[in-house]
């Protein structure tokens, strides 16, 4: 059975709108994903929303019907509301007018299995949620295990990051850690599983095309404005440089991560 | 001599604010670039604003002083206004509180010299100004000649695109054309200057790592949602595919362009 909501002041509407705000997401440990495509990607990855939100009075798309069945079977909540109210909750670009509330995933570094994938992406103090989501999307494409967020990054569960990930937030592992925690975890792995830490860098670096990448390979990019701190670069096993032939001295962070990730993939696939 | 503006309703303030809107930019054939870094990049590329806008009552940064001198010498306008008013004009993220109004550049395809660079980027119906600016930035980094915008793309002179380009809007050539115009221009070039058109594609494509790139090489990516139309792919000299190992079937458009551009660069530099 659906619940139907008719007023803007309904507590569920307020709850949904509050999830656009990081503070509320942190408190609720829940996040919002909008649009049929994202929700279907989630479902195919075995992730169902705790709450599915729909517009009333629509002939549902077959994929929406499938979502309703699965969410109901899993004991989740299905809520219908006027399209006008839903538009206030989810914003534009949601023509099927569906959204879902998901429990945040575990982002504990200790629970990552680094041997599960040859490539991992690492972002340090990445501030733009679009860049963060794009890195998740690239990670999915190169068969990476996931994205490790170091220091104070944008929220991977923000609506913008979830949208830019194009569903990869549901398939890539996410971890969040301070630099010291990450380095201790990385160096604590035994033998071949220890992990090679690679920085995109301009200092004391070798050409990214001929560098000796080794799995599991952790490819790290830094903050959009400042890049990586020098001491973080110093701690890396490998510093690689991407040619910059023009006036600018850096690439977009998500672009740098992707160029490195595809290069490492070509080497590690053999 | 500076002009000083004290009211929100001043016509210059209205003019500056109107340049955030595409319709007004088209009419005025002017665009806005914000922040000392962008204006300095422009100056170093030999592009000076027609109007330089500053906050009153500040000890100017030496680079601002240099800008004032150059703009004045070139017969441009220097306008000072309260920081509060300037903030309404330029938005956040502009700590030096400077902005400039530039005349739009010539974007006529006929005026591009295709033999000037081994690589050109081409975007078809690219809708996101951030992606467009990021492609300009990548183009600068790989030594591309410029970015050719096919069909109905985001405005390269929007504040978002200019910002994401990190100054490359001032160093890369820009052209705008319909597909038929572009194809006619490309095929009309004589001999070696004719140009190789390459699409990122999943159909009938070869691996992007081993494809025979040839200069001048035009690397084309399609719309963020729909990709390239099939008939555009058919018209290409080369269709190359980037591995997609995960659940998703595409990369972010600016990422796909960058992965291709760096691959082509490695081949063409020899």
The confidence score (pLDDT) of residue A193 equals: 61
The confidence score (pLDDT) of residue A93 equals: 62
Q: Are A168 and B134 in contact (CB < 8 Å)?
A: no
Minimal CA separation from B79 to chain A, in Å: 28
Residue A117 has pLDDT above 70, yes or no: yes
Render pLDDT for B205-260 as a digit per residue (tens, 0 to 9): 899 999 999 999 999 999 999 999 999 999 999 999 999 999 988 999 999 999 99
Catalogue all structural domains in chain A, each as residue range(s) with its CATH number.
Answer: 3-103 (3.30.1330.30), 109-269 (3.40.1280.10)
Q: Are A140 and B258 in contact (CB < 8 Å)?
A: no
Q: Are A243 and B141 in contact (CB < 8 Å)?
A: yes
Q: Which H/E stretch holds residue A200?
A: strand A196-200
The answer, for A215 touching chain B at a CB cutoff of 8 Å, is no
Contacts of A254 in chain B (CB under 8 A): 252, 254-255
Query: What is the mean pLDDT of the segment spanning A66-79?
Result: 96
* Least confident interval from B28-32, B136-140, B158-162, B184-188: B184-188
Identify the sign of the CA torsion A49, A51, A52, A53: negative
The confidence score (pLDDT) of residue B249 equals: 87
* Other beta carbons less than 10 A from residue B220's beta carbon: 24
| B61, B96 contact by CB (below 8 A) | yes
* CB-side neighbour CA atoms (13 Å) of A189: 22
Residue of A nearest to B44 (CA): A247
The answer, for A66 touching chain B at a CB cutoff of 8 Å, is no
The answer, for A40 touching chain B at a CB cutoff of 8 Å, is no
Beta-bridge partners for A174 = A147
The confidence score (pLDDT) of residue B56 equals: 87
The answer, for A268 touching chain B at a CB cutoff of 8 Å, is no
| Candidates A245, A260, A267, partner chain B, best to mutate (most B CBs within 10 A) | A245
Render pLDDT for A79-96 as a digit per residue (tens, 0 to 9): 999 888 888 888 766 667
Q: Which H/E stretch holds residue A162?
A: helix A159-164
The answer, for B66 touching chain A at a CB cutoff of 8 Å, is no
| A229, A151 contact by CB (below 8 A) | no
Closest by CA position to B52, among listed B44, B62, B40, B28 = B40
The confidence score (pLDDT) of residue B239 equals: 96
The answer, for B262 touching chain A at a CB cutoff of 8 Å, is yes
Alpha-carbon gap, residue A253 to A153, rounded angstroms: 13
- Cα A187 from chain centre: 24
The answer, for B212 touching chain A at a CB cutoff of 8 Å, is no
Q: Are B41 and A247 in contact (CB < 8 Å)?
A: yes
**What's the complex ipTM?**
0.94
The 3-class secondary structure across chain B, one letter per residue, is CCEEECCCCCHHHHHHHHCCCHHHHHHHCEEEEECHHHHHHHHHCCCCCCEEEEECCCCCCHHHHHHHHHHHHCCCEEEEECHHHHHHHHCCCCCCCEEEEEECCCCCHHHCCHHHCCEEEEEECCCCHHHHHHHHHHHHHCCCCEEEEECCCCCCCCHHHHHHCCCHHHCCEEEEECHHHHHHHHHHCCHHHHCEEEEECCCCCEECCCCCCCCCEEEEECECCCECCHHHHHCCCEEEECCCCCCCCCCCHHHHHHHHHHHHHHHHHC
The confidence score (pLDDT) of residue B193 equals: 61
Share of chain B above pLDDT 70, in %: 96
The answer, for A41 touching chain B at a CB cutoff of 8 Å, is yes
| Candidates B209, B245, B254, partner chain A, best to mutate (most A CBs within 10 A) | B245
Quick one: pLDDT band at residue A230, thresholds 50, 70, 90?
very high
Quick one: pLDDT band at residue A149, thresholds 50, 70, 90?
very high
Nearest-5° Cα angle at B152, B146 to B157: 55
Mean pLDDT of chain B: 92
Minimal CA separation from A164 to chain B, in Å: 8
The confidence score (pLDDT) of residue B95 equals: 66
Residue A1 has pLDDT above 70, yes or no: no
Contacts of B130 in chain A (CB under 8 A): 130
The confidence score (pLDDT) of residue A92 equals: 65
Highest mean pLDDT among A200-209, B6-15, B28-37, B191-200: B28-37
Render pLDDT for B116-167 as a digit per residue (tens, 0 to 9): 999 999 999 999 999 999 999 999 999 999 999 999 999 999 999 999 999 9
The answer, for A121 touching chain B at a CB cutoff of 8 Å, is no
The confidence score (pLDDT) of residue B126 equals: 98
Q: What is the DSSP letter of A237?
A: S
Alpha-carbon gap, residue B92 to B18, rounded angstroms: 17
Minimal CA separation from B148 to chain A, in Å: 18
Residue A270 has pLDDT above 90, yes or no: no
Query: What is the mean pLDDT of the segment spanning A199-221?
Result: 93
Residue of B nearest to A45 (CA): B247
Query: What is the mean pLDDT of the segment spanning A218-237?
Result: 96
Residue A136 has pLDDT above 70, yes or no: yes
* Other beta carbons less than 10 A from residue A110's beta carbon: 10
């Amino acid at each position: 059975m659906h619940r139907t909501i008719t007023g803007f002041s309904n507590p569920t509407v307020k709850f949904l709108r509050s999830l656009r705000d990081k503070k509320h997401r942190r408190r609720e440990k829940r996040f919002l994903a909008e649009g049929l495509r994202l929700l279907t990607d989630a479902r195919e990855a075995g992730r169902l929303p705790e709450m599915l939100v729909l517009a009333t009075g629509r002939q549902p798309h077959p994929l929406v019907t499938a979502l309703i069945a699965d969410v109901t079977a899993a004991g989740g909540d299905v809520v219908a509301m006027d399209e006008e109210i839903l538009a206030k909750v989810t914003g534009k670009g949601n023509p099927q007018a569906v959204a879902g509330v998901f429990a945040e995933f575990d982002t504990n570094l200790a629970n990552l299995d680094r041997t599960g994938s040859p490539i991992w992406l690492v972002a340090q103090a990445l501030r733009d949620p679009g860049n963060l989501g794009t890195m998740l999307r690239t990670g999915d494409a190169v068969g990476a295990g996931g994205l490790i967020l170091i220091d104070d990054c944008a929220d991977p569960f923000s609506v913008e990051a979830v949208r830019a990930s194009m569903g990869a937030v549901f398939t890539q592992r996410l971890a969040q850690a301070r630099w010291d925690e990450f380095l201790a975890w990385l160096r604590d792995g035994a033998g071949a599983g220890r992990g090679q830490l690679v920085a995109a860098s301009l200092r004391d670096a070798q050409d990214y095309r001929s560098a000796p990448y080794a799995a599991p390979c952790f490819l790290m990019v830094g903050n959009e404005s400042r890049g990586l701190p020098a001491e973080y670069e110093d701690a890396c096993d490998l510093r690689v440089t991407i040619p910059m032939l023009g006036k600018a001295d850096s690439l977009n962070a998500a672009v740098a991560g992707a160029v490195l990730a595809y290069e490492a993939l070509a080497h590690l696939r053999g």
